[in-house]
Amino acid sequence: MSIAAPEATASATTPATASAAAPPAAPSVHVRALLTWLAVYPAITLAQVLLGPPLAGLAVPLRVLVLTALVVPTAVYLLVPGLLRARAALLRPRRRGPSAERVDGHPSGRGSQPRPAGPGR
């Protein structure tokens, strides 16, 4: 059983292909904290509104245990990843479709034709 040397496998990847396949940079810790808060605050609020009355008879630590047992997995597995995907979609450069093409493909919309001379020019 032979194990390939690291330099042998590293030489198979060229710098151009490595950078093209590189995933986008992860958001900063501050952005992740903001996105987490944006997921957790409404989830806790909704859980309190929906489950507050039925759980009112329980002691505070038990109410918090029930709420966090529902909110934390929901935020971690559904809400935060969804917000991260939405953020990535907003930051992704948009491609111009065929409807965005201008006259003669020229970005000004006038094409390559010169402007006609008018009476005041």
| 34-70 confidence digits (pLDDT tens) | 999 999 999 999 999 999 999 999 999 999 999 999 9
Q: Does 24 have pLDDT greater than 90?
A: no
What would the DSSP string read from start to end of 42-56?
HHHHHHHHHHHHHHT
**pTM > 0.75:** no
3-state secondary structure (DSSP) of residue 61: helix
What DSSP character marks residue 13? S
Q: For 14, what's the count of Cα atoms within 13 Å in the CB-facing half-sphere?
A: 3
Reading the block at residue 121, the tokens are 């020019």
